[in-house]
Structure 1
Amino acid sequence: MATGLARPLARSLKGRMFGTAAAAKPKNADEREPLGFVKKLENGLVVGTIESKSPIARIAVVANAGSRFETGQNLGVSHVLRHLPKLRTENLSSLGIIRRSLQLGSDITSQGNREYIYYKSAVTRNVVAPIVEILQELTTKSKIVDWEFEDLINDPNGLKLDLALLKTQPQIRAVEALHAAAFRNTLGNSLYSPEFQLGKFTSEQVAHYLKTYFSAGRLALIGVGVDQQVLEDLGRTFEPYKAAGAPSQQAVYAGGEIRENSGGDLAYVAVAFSGPSQVSSDLLPAEVLKHVLGAGPYIKYSLGTTSALGKAAAKATDGPFAVSGFTANYFDAGLFGFTAVAPSQSIDKVLRAAAKEVKSLLTSGVSDAQVNAAKNRLKAEICMNFENPENILSWLGEQSLHSNSIITPHEVYKMVDNISTADVNKVAKAIAGSKPSIGVTGNTSNVPYLDKLFS
């Protein structure tokens, strides 16, 4: 314990030391930005990390094995693989997977899109290694046995529940229909298994797809808030399947129309043209163009009538509606358009007004003021997306499998700042030259057909 004499002496020394110390130079945005690292290991596994100040580490194994790689014979198999954590591995039973993850204070979730399947977990940093071992078992040591696989297919809380929930989400079905109309196969394959396939899948079929696409060069171990060297050492224990994967079929935009009349009071519509791919220099200008159209309400519970699309629709009808710009971008193709929801009796007016506004912007071009405002909205959207570490994890996974470096969020902001009005008008002209596509669900009786909508 300090004596009475020591305390003032200590205070005196403390004051002198602070008084003579040079002021620390404040870091600029680039220096504060957490850096990303990516490396392909000798075993073919890709390892990617981004540092974080959070005490929680987020880990994932991502496979380039989404629904676009399915064929007519195994349609829906990627949906089945999203339920892979329910099946045993070479060294762990399904109960063992649950028990071990709970003991670590974590859980394992799976997600999938048209290009990737993710198996994710969030843990404290001191138990990264054990959770990676479980993810390794799931993705490289799967052991699908017939009786467990049959239980999985017939589980009312599994794939059947997913399909039952899909029936209650017409807005998702409209976007699924749009993809099918636009691309037919590849990116047109649904994220969900067709119901007629549930009784036709075999354990051998699923195992073959897994071993084909969870293979060297198509599999990545990624982490947010994990040291790169730690993750590399863990990655070296992986043994990805040796199959190189079937050659990827190029996605070809065809354009078309799919309508699914499921009745009800509302009509749900998704309309799009051919848009830029993820690797295209037109990607961010197209996102700016989307925000010129309007990407939904900017104020919670507002009517969303301040955007270009919202204003056009509000002039056409006095009834309720929702309309928003829409983009979907993939490695080799993309979509650009809008989505709309309205009562059946007014959907025709809403769609025609929105289509006219889109056509006008694509052909007449946009102003500097419109572009500057849209760039600010886009940067705000990017910032808010990156506040969620789950989004950063997914973003890291996609970059790790297709790039030798990781673009940081701050670099993305700079790219947006450098977009000119000429860049936006250039991509608008390219989009306008493509054939439109449309996906419709709900009450389709008053939805205009594609040839009438853009005539």
Structure 2
Amino acid sequence: MGCRRRSQKRITERKSGPEREPQKRDFIPSKLLPKLKPQLPLQERLHILRTLSDILMEFLLNVTTAPEFRRWEVAALQPQLRIDKAVAFQNPQAHVIENLHAAAYRNALANSLYCPDYRIGKVTPDELHDYVQNHFTSARMALIGLGVSHPVLKQVAEQFLNMRGGLGLSGAKTKYRGGEIREQNGDSLVHAALVAESAAAGSAEANAFSVLQHVLGAGPHVKRGSNATSSLYQAVAKGIHQPFDVSAFNASYSDSGLFGIYTISQAAAAGDVIKAAYNQVKTVAQGNLSNTDVQVAKNKLKAGYLMSVESSEGFLDEVGSQALVAGSYVPPSTVLQQIDSVADADVINAAKKFVSGRKSMAASGNLGHTPFVDEL
């Protein structure tokens, strides 16, 4: 980021709030979300937004199509990578999820979201330019706008986003392999994830796995909640009297997906918690699932989806994800219909696929009582 880029970022933060670019495994988002004081009259806010739109669009296009990587600035930024990684891995879940993908996949999705230690300090501006040249191509981009007329957005795309045409370098197709990574340390709590390959995002099978996730328990929606009403929690609680947490894990990508269980428990009870949760999924796979449970899970899934697209930022994420993965946009009403179309048998088949599939596992903590993946 050169001096010009720094000034752009300052202006952007002052006028729009900081750019939030959450890390994704499938794509890199760049967003500008103008934030204006709500006490301003509506007409004044609209005037300001129209005035700023051209300025902010210029910043966004410069960042995505003509980034500058000056050597002294790239060198100065690299120590921050080590700090960011250390901060992220203070949360054991972040490390376990990274290890889970490394164990599950042979390539592509196995790549970490974080720079490996041996590369920190060695990334060059030439490498960054080469990456942008080969990956930031028009066929790989989606330009999404809210409150902007389609002709204006189309004109911007045709004028500025066609400088690098084509598909760029073809990425390797994701290969699921199954595997296990165990990280022994002195933590009193054991974090463990057990998964199998599920389905790619946007498919009917992926919808079935999403419903199954909510049948089992997708995690608490209340801060510090225990999700005690979920079937996974209740199944584990029958034999475990120490504190624990358990939820279904579900991640869908453009060409693959992972589904399974995530547990947090005391070291001595880790094996019992994991096995009890796994047995509960087996129970569903054997057909022990009522239509009422499926309907409740569908309602939870639909409510969660609708709440995720209530905000402008969430809606931008959803439209952009669909555009990049499927090449088209499906409105919320259609998404709800797709969820409703999932049959009880589809959910049972999803559970069967997990139970019979090749497993991947990642665990962290004092693992003396944590089973290996082949013992499950």
One fold, TM greater than 0.5?
A: yes
Aligned residues with identical type, % of pairs: 33
Name 2:37's counterpart in structure 1.
none
CA RMSD in angstroms comes to 1.9
CA distance in 2 between counterparts of 1:359 and 1:128 reads: 53
Alpha-carbon shift at residue 404 of structure 1 (Å): 4.6
**Kept after mapping to 2: 8 A contact 1:125/1:226:** no
After superposition, the Cα gap between the structure-2 partners of 1:433 and 1:223, relative to the gap in structure 1 and judged at 3 Å, is same
Q: Does 1:152 align with 2:77?
A: yes
**Kept after mapping to 2: 8 A contact 1:217/1:401:** no
Matched to 1:436, the amino acid is: K
Name 1:125's counterpart in structure 2.
49
Equivalent residues in 2 for 1:155-304, closer than 5 Å: 158-239=80-161, 240-242=163-165, 244-304=167-227
**Count of aligned pairs:** 361
Alpha-carbon shift at residue 380 of structure 1 (Å): 1.5
Matched to 1:112, the amino acid is: Q
Equivalent residues in 2 for 1:362-441, closer than 5 Å: 362-441=285-364
**Kept after mapping to 2: 8 A contact 1:222/1:396:** yes
| Residue of structure 2 aligned with 1:137, choices 47, 58, 62 | 62
Matched to 2:56, the amino acid is: I
Unaligned runs of 5+ in 2: 35-47
CA distance in 2 between counterparts of 1:314 and 1:104 reads: 50
Higher mean alpha-carbon deviation, 291-300 vs 340-349, is at 291-300
Alpha-carbon shift at residue 378 of structure 1 (Å): 1.1
Alpha-carbon shift at residue 105 of structure 1 (Å): 4.2
Alpha-carbon shift at residue 97 of structure 1 (Å): 1.4
Larger Rg: 1
Alpha-carbon shift at residue 224 of structure 1 (Å): 2.5
Alpha-carbon shift at residue 364 of structure 1 (Å): 3.4
Alpha-carbon shift at residue 267 of structure 1 (Å): 0.7
| Residue of structure 1 aligned with 2:263, choices 330, 340, 364 | 340
CA distance in 1 between counterparts of 2:59 and 2:372 reads: 50
Matched to 2:254, the amino acid is: F
CA distance in 2 between counterparts of 1:113 and 1:331 reads: 12
Alpha-carbon shift at residue 430 of structure 1 (Å): 3.0
Higher mean alpha-carbon deviation, 318-327 vs 224-233, is at 224-233
CA distance in 1 between counterparts of 2:188 and 2:350 reads: 37
CA distance in 1 between counterparts of 2:221 and 2:66 reads: 46
Alpha-carbon shift at residue 439 of structure 1 (Å): 0.8
Alpha-carbon shift at residue 298 of structure 1 (Å): 4.8
Name 1:11's counterpart in structure 2.
none
TM-score normalised over the length of structure 1? 0.75
Matched to 2:49, the amino acid is: R
**Kept after mapping to 1: 8 A contact 2:106/2:174:** no
**Kept after mapping to 2: 8 A contact 1:177/1:258:** yes
CA distance in 1 between counterparts of 2:158 and 2:55 reads: 15
After superposition, the Cα gap between the structure-2 partners of 1:347 and 1:410, relative to the gap in structure 1 and judged at 3 Å, is same
CA distance in 1 between counterparts of 2:285 and 2:250 reads: 15
**Kept after mapping to 1: 8 A contact 2:282/2:351:** no
Matched to 1:330, the amino acid is: Y
**Kept after mapping to 2: 8 A contact 1:279/1:332:** no
Alpha-carbon shift at residue 259 of structure 1 (Å): 0.8
Which structure shows the higher helix fraction? 2
Alpha-carbon shift at residue 448 of structure 1 (Å): 0.9
Alpha-carbon shift at residue 103 of structure 1 (Å): 5.1
Q: Secondary structure at the match of 1:336?
A: strand
Matched to 2:348, the amino acid is: N
Name 2:365's counterpart in structure 1.
442
Q: Secondary structure at the match of 2:175?
A: coil
CA distance in 2 between counterparts of 1:96 and 1:302 reads: 43
Matched to 1:247, the amino acid is: S
Name 2:248's counterpart in structure 1.
325
Higher mean alpha-carbon deviation, 100-109 vs 274-283, is at 100-109
After superposition, the Cα gap between the structure-2 partners of 1:103 and 1:421, relative to the gap in structure 1 and judged at 3 Å, is closer
